[in-house]
Amino acid sequence: DAKTTQPTSMDCAEGRAANLPCNHSTISGNEYVYWYRQIHSQGPQYIIHGLKNNETNEMASLIITEDRKSSTLILPHATLRDTAVYYCIVRVYGQNFVFGPGTRLSVLP
Amino acid sequence: KAGVTQTPRYLIKTRGQQVTLSCSPISGHRSVSWYQQTPGQGLQFLFEYFSETQRNKGNFPGRFSGRQFSNSRSEMNVSTLELGDSALYLCASSFRQGAGDTQYFGPGTRLTVL
């Protein structure tokens, strides 16, 4: 079973920041938080990952709480092309990714 | 650098047949994982290969098998196809095996079983 909890769906206005929350209250010290997204019927696309510190790349920012029990993916200026299912995954060491149902983000014009 | 490639992209088979899907990882990547995605079950892990050895296996019947070659390319085989095997089969590659290593996914092979 997935070790994360995410909202089923969210809407965001185009041009605004999209903040996608994820709860992972049972995370262990050596487990990473990963975010992927999947646009309809394509392969999942890697977005970002982190262990303890906040991370930023050209696509998004990842904010991890100090107790590591939750995180937020931030898309700073959402566009229509960001409409996708977003998966938050906690990767257990030595195991592969366990995908939950994710959050369906709809970016609205 | 080229991404993960999967062939064929689409496939139609009938019940009872077998099928072989192919995955070429990103150059330099040695780990290849396979996933099945269906509307009902979502994305489920099938197995992972690293240096030609199966390292992890998901909860799928023995009809699902795979292998990895010395150049890291991988194939998965499904024998005695069932209607429920209709799915998007995804391959992902990573440089090595480990919790902090990122997997990059291919576009998938859409298998339809009639």
CB-CB under 8 Å, A31 with B99: yes
State percent of chain B over pLDDT 70.
96
CB-CB under 8 Å, B56 with A96: yes
Neighbours of A87 (CB within 10 A): 27
Adjacent-strand bridge partners of A108: A13
pLDDT score, position A94: 65
Neighbours of B17 (CB within 10 A): 13
Q: pLDDT tens for residues A33-71?
A: 999 999 988 999 999 999 999 999 999 999 999 999 999
pLDDT-derived band of residue A1, with 50, 70 and 90 as boundaries?
low
Q: Which residues of chain A have a CB within 8 Å of the CB of B90? A: 43-44
Length of chain A: 109
pLDDT score, position B95: 86
Calpha distance A29→A33 (Å, rounded): 11
B97 against B48, higher pLDDT: B48
pLDDT-derived band of residue A8, with 50, 70 and 90 as boundaries?
very high
Most A-contacting residue of B21, B24, B103 (CB-CB within 10 A), to test interface: B103
| Positive or negative torsion for Cα A51, A53, A54, A55 | negative
Cβ proximity of A23 and A70 under 8 Å = yes
Q: Is B52 helix (H, G, I), strand (E, B) or coil?
A: coil
Q: pLDDT tens for residues A70-108?
A: 999 999 999 999 999 999 999 876 677 888 899 999 999
pLDDT score, position A2: 67
pLDDT score, position A96: 78
Q: Which residues contact B9 (CB under 8 A, 6 or more apart)?
A: B107, B108, B109, B110
